[in-house]
Chains A and B, each alone.
Chain A
Amino acid sequence: MAKVDWPAADKRALIGKRIDRIDGPLKATGAAKYSYDINRPDMLWAKVVTSPYAHAEVTSIDTRAAEALPGVKGVWHDTEKEVRYAGEIVAAVAAVTEEIAEEAARLVAVQYKPLEHQVVDTDPALSKDKPSKKDQGNVDEAFTKADKVVEGEYGIPVVTHCCLEPHGQVTEMRDGELYAWPSTQNVSRYSDRLGEAAGVDQNKIHVECQFMGGGFGSKFNFDKWGPIGALLSKQTGKPVKLLLERDIELMTAGNRPSAYAKIKIGAQKDGTITAVEAEVWGTGGMGGYGPPPIPYVFTKVPHTRLTGKGIRTNRGGQRAWRAPNHPQGCFLTMSALADTAAALKMDELEFFLKNVSLTDRAEVYTEELKIAADLIDYKRKAHPRGDPTPGPVKRGLGMSIHTWGGMGHPSECDVTISPDGSVEARLGSQDLGTGTRTVIDIVVAETLGLPLHAVKVQIGKSDYPASGGSGGSTTVGGVSASSRLAATAALNALFETIASKLDTAADNLEVVRGEIRQSDKPENKMSWKEACALLGVNAITRRGSNNPGESQKMHLMDGGVGGAQIADVSVDIETGIVTINEMVAAQDCGLIIDLKTAESQVYGALIMGITYSLFEEAVYDAKTGRMLNADMEFYRLAGIKDVGNLKVHMMTGKGYDERGVVGLGEPPVISPGAAIANAVANALGVRVPQLPLTPDRVIAVLAKGGNLA
């Protein structure tokens, strides 16, 4: 009888190895069809019309000129009277070519009555919210008793998701059924309530997304453009492709809230942190605002006080952005802590190691910090704040630690073993590029003792068994558990069928490298093909249902990880340019299914982190209320030359593997901002308090002497 538990290290044929992603060839050759690539017969192209005003009343929308343009087939406009940010969609047109649709969108005449707007997020006095408060211990008393009290002000701006594939979908109403190909992180639940919005029965909606070009937390729902596409398709009787233009994508399709904070740290002479007080503010645009956690990770600091308030601004609404609120909490906390270490004239690594007892996983952080330090040659390179070497280029090291949950989500998976020996796994999950398909393949193939190519993995359709949305690093745990449960159940059903042929009980059977054999008498065996042939005409299908609580008890999956990163940077004090020389990450995530794609997650997170540390910021003009850099030239992403040398160390083996699978997408993107900013402070001797660390900010701080002068 096959057991559900993960196999021991010496029994793993595939799990934990470096395995190429199975859809790699499709992607590398352009054969992978993303939602944006779906071209349906007789399809129309839709373009949206957006508000140029940050806040306005729409007094009229005249679509007559657009409708009169030859080739225009459908028009939609909003009935809402108020637009609350520049870039908000007010109308849409559908036409036989993309060019005609663009032209028609320009012909839609919208009259606005501009209203007062507010897009500034840096001034806490602009908040109209009642501040949230969180108190622990006696902060005021703790500060009076502290040997050292260090105060600082730090900030991390609004950044966007900037998914390379924009939001949107192809929608087709056909025979009363609605077919949607959205770019989504949430195949199984994407269409929840879309039926209502589009006037279709919910059970007549079919969603498919085989490949999607990035979501990072911004693509869970059908959004405003979902029903617009469906209604235009309904109106015209034709399929409609509606994917956002880049500028609209950047203004409307999600962003990460900003966070600015005044932070006060109390510490003993030996470096022990005793008190943390923080006043945080920021904006989630038209969305809500929850203050990031401070102190981050060091949650056992006995005396803490956190006051948070949101500033409602006329900007697009915030969405989950890879590890919601953690990069902000991490940057603010770790910056203040590094400044405290510097004020105490303590080595930063020593200071962090001293305080790991104030975290939930002291041993993990200790191990990871030491590994990261070795990887970057910390002992040789480290120096107190302020690179003493002459010349304009100053070099420094900085570090940070982080945490994330990453417990697998509910997931259902069907595994079918066919009489010809072929195997199929089906689940309504999605592969965001994390390697979900590959992970499912590895788990099912490992469970059935088969090579990878023997398993066909079918994901990306809402008609398959439901699986959770891919957010919060919940996918790898969820699909690993459900596919393991399904494959094990299917295998045991096969054992039941063939046991009598091998003159033994199903309980005595095992599968090893394509052979089913008696555990205590391995020569009594038959090949996988022979065994499956005995099924006659009846394929075996078994459902695996991942119940997170139960799977955690069974150690199939778990939640909660650490992670440590150290950055090595150079700063040119004449130009203000920050260069990443090297960055290292030590990261745990329980049992690793595919080491190669796991490492890619961490490399990718370091790079995304370097990007938001050095380049990214949604810049808004206070006067016009518009985003000034809603394109990819001025909303800059790091290029290949910007990222330096990266080293990733995945924690494996004892202490990690036996926990089961834990999610990995979010954690490594949390620390880079803090680690890089701390490295810059270490290089310069003064703190550049706000991300991104652009040349102008560096120069401005150097001119003033910084906040630790």
Chain B
Amino acid sequence: MSDEIDASKPAGLSRRGFLKGFGVGSVATGLLSPVGLKEALAREGGVVGPGEVPVTLKINGQNRKLSVEPRVTLLDALRNRLDLTGCKKVCDRGTCGACTVLVDRHPVYSCSMLAVEAEGHEITSIEGLGTPERMNEVQKAFVHHDAQQCGFCTPGFVVACTAFVRKHPDATLEQVRAGLGGNLCRCGTYAGMMLAVVDAARKGVS
């Protein structure tokens, strides 16, 4: 997660809740320092919205131009505007991790980041980690150890696990248990997952 703290948010409301839930559609310069949005902000005197604003997102190595209201989350931009549906909307409140993507190689809940905040960052979604024909080591290990059932939480876990094994190439089961607490599964695939993560770590993920 981005650990940027917004001191200007009203007490008792998360910034996301404030921006999204209450339909406040403007973005102040102090909140973020993106590149493409800069021009629009300069043109509009530091505030854009509540209508759509142009955003360029670098996703899986490609620049994708889109026009979104400032209240649109990165998750909804990926799923609804770009048809990158691998990341899932489950809790929509930063609890379950099904929407996890990498932002500058760090795992982030995309439901809790606005699309406009993601401008200027390198975003990797599950689709950028591998394809059914060319899976990365985490994905291969998930298949081999059957670390998935319905599979709805799987992309979020695969993204989180990929970041985890890059950081912990010698991961122990204890580290896996502690390090993957940010994602939830309902079918109960953790047994296979523990084996998969240790296995993938051993093989290495670039």
- A residues contacting B by CB (< 8 A) are 20-21, 23-34, 36-37, 39, 45, 97-99, 103, 106, 162-166, 211-214, 216, 245-246, 432-434, 596-597, 599-601, 603-608, 611, 631-633, 637-641, 643, 646
B188→A608 contact, CB < 8 A: yes
Binds A, one of B26-34, B36-44, B152-160: B152-160
B90→A164 contact, CB < 8 A: yes
User: In the complex, what's the smallest C-beta–C-beta distance from A500 to chain B, in angstroms?
Assistant: 42
Contacts of A45 in B (CB 8 A): 80
Separation of A441 and B20 alpha carbons in the complex (Å): 45
Separation of A214 and B88 alpha carbons in the complex (Å): 13
Q: Quick one: given A29-B139, A640-B190, A641-B177, are A597 and B146 in contact (CB under 8 Å)?
A: yes
B127 within 8 A of A: yes
Partner of B150, one of A20, A106, A432, A646: A432
Q: Quick one: given A28-B154, A213-B152, A607-B191, are A39 and B80 in contact (CB under 8 Å)?
A: yes
A603→B181 contact, CB < 8 A: no
Q: Quick one: given A604-B149, A640-B181, A640-B194, are A30 and B87 in contact (CB under 8 Å)?
A: yes
What 0/1 pattern do residues 76 to 104 of B give for CB contact below 8 A with A?
10011001111111111101101000000
B177→A20 contact, CB < 8 A: no
B48 within 8 A of A: no
Separation of A22 and B98 alpha carbons in the complex (Å): 22
A29→B135 contact, CB < 8 A: yes
B143→A28 contact, CB < 8 A: yes
B144→A32 contact, CB < 8 A: no
Q: Quick one: given A605-B188, A637-B186, are A27 and B95 in contact (CB under 8 Å)?
A: no
Q: Quick one: given A31-B132, A164-B152, A433-B149, are A637 and B184 in contact (CB under 8 Å)?
A: yes
B193 within 8 A of A: yes
Q: Quick one: given A30-B125, A33-B85, A632-B96, are A211 and B23 in contact (CB under 8 Å)?
A: no
List 7 contacting pairs A-B, 8 Å CB cutoff, sorted by A.
Answer: A28-B140, A99-B20, A165-B152, A604-B149, A607-B188, A637-B185, A640-B180
Contacts of A608 in B (CB 8 A): 186-188
B192 within 8 A of A: yes
A27→B148 contact, CB < 8 A: yes
CB contact list, B37-74 vs A, under 8 A: 69, 71-72
Contacts of A166 in B (CB 8 A): 90
Separation of A433 and B189 alpha carbons in the complex (Å): 11
A29→B130 contact, CB < 8 A: yes
Q: Which residue of A lies closest to B149 (CB)?
A: A433
A98→B184 contact, CB < 8 A: no
B13 within 8 A of A: no
Q: Quick one: given A163-B186, A633-B93, are A27 and B154 in contact (CB under 8 Å)?
A: yes
Q: Which residue of A lies closest to B143 (CB)?
A: A24
CB contact list, B109-153 vs A, under 8 A: 125-127, 129-133, 135, 138-140, 142-144, 146, 148-153
Contacts of A641 in B (CB 8 A): 177-178, 181
A214→B92 contact, CB < 8 A: no
Q: Which residue of B lies closest to A163 (CB)?
A: B186
B176 within 8 A of A: yes
Contacts of A599 in B (CB 8 A): 146
Separation of A658 and B181 alpha carbons in the complex (Å): 42
Separation of A641 and B194 alpha carbons in the complex (Å): 10
Q: Which residue of A lies closest to B193 (CB)?
A: A640
Q: Quick one: given A596-B146, A643-B191, are A214 and B152 in contact (CB under 8 Å)?
A: yes
Contacts of B185 in A (CB 8 A): 164, 607, 637, 640
Separation of A20 and B189 alpha carbons in the complex (Å): 14
Count, A-B residue pairs, CB within 8 A? 195
A213→B150 contact, CB < 8 A: yes
Separation of A604 and B80 alpha carbons in the complex (Å): 31
Contacts of A214 in B (CB 8 A): 150, 152, 186-187
Contacts of B151 in A (CB 8 A): 23, 27-28, 32, 211, 213, 433
B96→A164 contact, CB < 8 A: yes
Separation of A211 and B91 alpha carbons in the complex (Å): 19
B86→A31 contact, CB < 8 A: yes
B153→A164 contact, CB < 8 A: yes
Separation of A27 and B88 alpha carbons in the complex (Å): 12
Contacts of B149 in A (CB 8 A): 432-434, 600-601, 604
User: In the complex, what's the smallest C-beta–C-beta distance from B135 to chain A, in angstroms?
Assistant: 6
A25→B143 contact, CB < 8 A: yes
B143→A21 contact, CB < 8 A: yes
Considering residues A216, A601, A611, A639, which has the most beta carbons from chain B within 10 angstroms of its beta carbon?
A: A639
User: In the complex, what's the smallest C-beta–C-beta distance from B114 to chain A, in angstroms?
Assistant: 11
Separation of A643 and B186 alpha carbons in the complex (Å): 13
A600→B186 contact, CB < 8 A: no
B93→A28 contact, CB < 8 A: no
Q: Quick one: given A27-B148, A165-B152, A596-B146, are A632 and B188 in contact (CB under 8 Å)?
A: no
Contacts of B72 in A (CB 8 A): 97, 99
A20→B188 contact, CB < 8 A: no
B184→A20 contact, CB < 8 A: no
B80→A98 contact, CB < 8 A: yes
Partner of B95, one of A25, A32, A600, A633: A633
Q: Quick one: given A28-B139, A212-B150, are A631 and B189 in contact (CB under 8 Å)?
A: no
Q: Quick one: given A29-B127, A162-B186, A604-B189, are A632 and B143 in contact (CB under 8 Å)?
A: no
Q: Which residue of A lies closest to B92 (CB)?
A: A246
Considering residues B23, B138, B176, B183, which has the most beta carbons from chain A within 10 angstroms of its beta carbon?
A: B23
Q: Quick one: given A25-B135, A99-B69, are A631 and B95 in contact (CB under 8 Å)?
A: yes
A28→B158 contact, CB < 8 A: yes
A633→B91 contact, CB < 8 A: yes
User: In the complex, what's the smallest C-beta–C-beta distance from A700 to chain B, in angstroms?
Assistant: 27
Contacts of B153 in A (CB 8 A): 164
Considering residues B143, B149, B184, which has the most beta carbons from chain A within 10 angstroms of its beta carbon?
A: B149
A606→B188 contact, CB < 8 A: yes
A29→B129 contact, CB < 8 A: yes
A165→B88 contact, CB < 8 A: yes
For the A-B complex with A30-B158, A33-B85 known, give 20 more contacts whose Cβ atoms are closer than 8 Å: A28-B135, A28-B158, A29-B155, A29-B158, A30-B86, A31-B131, A34-B152, A36-B85, A37-B85, A164-B90, A164-B98, A164-B150, A213-B152, A432-B150, A596-B146, A607-B188, A632-B90, A638-B190, A639-B180, A646-B191
User: In the complex, what's the smallest C-beta–C-beta distance from B18 to chain A, in angstroms?
Assistant: 15
Q: Which residue of A lies closest to B71 (CB)?
A: A99
Contacts of A39 in B (CB 8 A): 79-80, 83, 85
Separation of A28 and B126 alpha carbons in the complex (Å): 8
Contacts of A434 in B (CB 8 A): 149
B139→A25 contact, CB < 8 A: yes
A24→B146 contact, CB < 8 A: yes
Q: Quick one: given A29-B135, A213-B151, are A640 and B177 in contact (CB under 8 Å)?
A: yes
User: In the complex, what's the smallest C-beta–C-beta distance from A513 to chain B, in angstroms?
Assistant: 24
Contacts of B143 in A (CB 8 A): 20-21, 24-25, 28
Separation of A274 and B126 alpha carbons in the complex (Å): 58
Q: Which residue of B lies closest to A611 (CB)?
A: B188
Considering residues A34, A599, A606, A641, which has the most beta carbons from chain B within 10 angstroms of its beta carbon?
A: A641
Separation of A637 and B87 alpha carbons in the complex (Å): 19
User: In the complex, what's the smallest C-beta–C-beta distance from A586 to chain B, in angstroms?
Assistant: 16
User: In the complex, what's the smallest C-beta–C-beta distance from A353 to chain B, in angstroms?
Assistant: 28
Q: Which 10 A-B pairs have the closest CB atoms?
A: A30-B86, A607-B188, A213-B152, A433-B150, A27-B151, A604-B188, A433-B149, A30-B126, A37-B85, A24-B143
Separation of A261 and B138 alpha carbons in the complex (Å): 47
User: In the complex, what's the smallest C-beta–C-beta distance from B154 to chain A, in angstroms?
Assistant: 5
Contacts of B135 in A (CB 8 A): 25, 28-29
Separation of A588 and B164 alpha carbons in the complex (Å): 36
User: In the complex, what's the smallest C-beta–C-beta distance from B138 to chain A, in angstroms?
Assistant: 8
User: In the complex, what's the smallest C-beta–C-beta distance from A593 to chain B, in angstroms?
Assistant: 14
B91→A600 contact, CB < 8 A: no
Q: Which residue of A lies closest to B132 (CB)?
A: A25
Contacts of A600 in B (CB 8 A): 146, 149, 189, 191-192
Q: Which residue of A lies closest to B87 (CB)?
A: A30
User: In the complex, what's the smallest C-beta–C-beta distance from A24 to chain B, in angstroms?
Assistant: 4
Separation of A88 and B171 alpha carbons in the complex (Å): 46
